[in-house]
């Protein structure tokens, strides 16, 4: 069975500083993908970044980077130079390669302070 664990219900970060949101996962699949989504208060889900389980390099997308440690089964999201607009819920998710279903973690609410 697949499982995503996000242990930080809420995080605070000062504007312009970096923040790491934790995500650990469990799966019996050999090949899988890990995702991070942002959900602002308006509710839409915004895809941020993707990491394949066989990707040797950590994924980066602008200010977002994914710290992937396969042996530890962790896929932490790092947001650099936080902005006020980064305040939102962040969800870590996983899907088996070739599969359709995506499972989500409980989420972390990020608050960026001015």
Partner 1 sequence: GAVVSQHPSRVICKSGTSVKIECRSLDFQATTMFWYRQFPKQSLMLMATSNEGSKATYEQGVEKDKFLINHASLTLSTLTVTSAHPEDSSFYICSAPDRGVVGYTFGSGTRLTVV
Instruction: Give the interface with partner 1 as residue ranges (CB under 8 A).
Output: 33, 35, 37, 42-45, 47-48, 50, 91, 100-107, 109
Minimum distance from residue 16 beta carbon to partner 1 (Å):
27
The whole-angstrom separation of Cα 89 and Cα 101 is: 21
Minimum distance from residue 31 beta carbon to partner 1 (Å):
14
Closer to partner 1 by CB, 63 or 109: give it. 109
Give counts: helices (H), strands (E), the chain: 0, 12
Q: What is the largest CA-CA distance in the chain?
A: 43
Distance, CA of 52 to chain centre: 13
Closer to partner 1 by CB, 14 or 60: give it. 60
């Amino acid at each position: 069975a697949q499982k995503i664990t996000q242990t930080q219900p809420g995080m605070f970060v000062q504007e312009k500083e970096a923040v790491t949101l934790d995500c650990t996962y469990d799966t019996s699949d050999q090949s899988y993908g890990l995702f991070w989504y942002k959900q602002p208060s308006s509710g839409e889900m915004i895809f941020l970044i993707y990491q394949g389980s066989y990707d040797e390099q950590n994924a980066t997308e602008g200010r977002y980077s994914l710290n992937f440690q396969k042996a530890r089964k962790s896929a932490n999201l790092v947001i650099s130079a936080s902005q006020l607009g980064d305040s939102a819920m962040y969800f870590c998710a996983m899907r088996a390669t070739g599969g359709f279903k995506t499972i989500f973690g409980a989420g972390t609410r990020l608050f960026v302070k001015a």
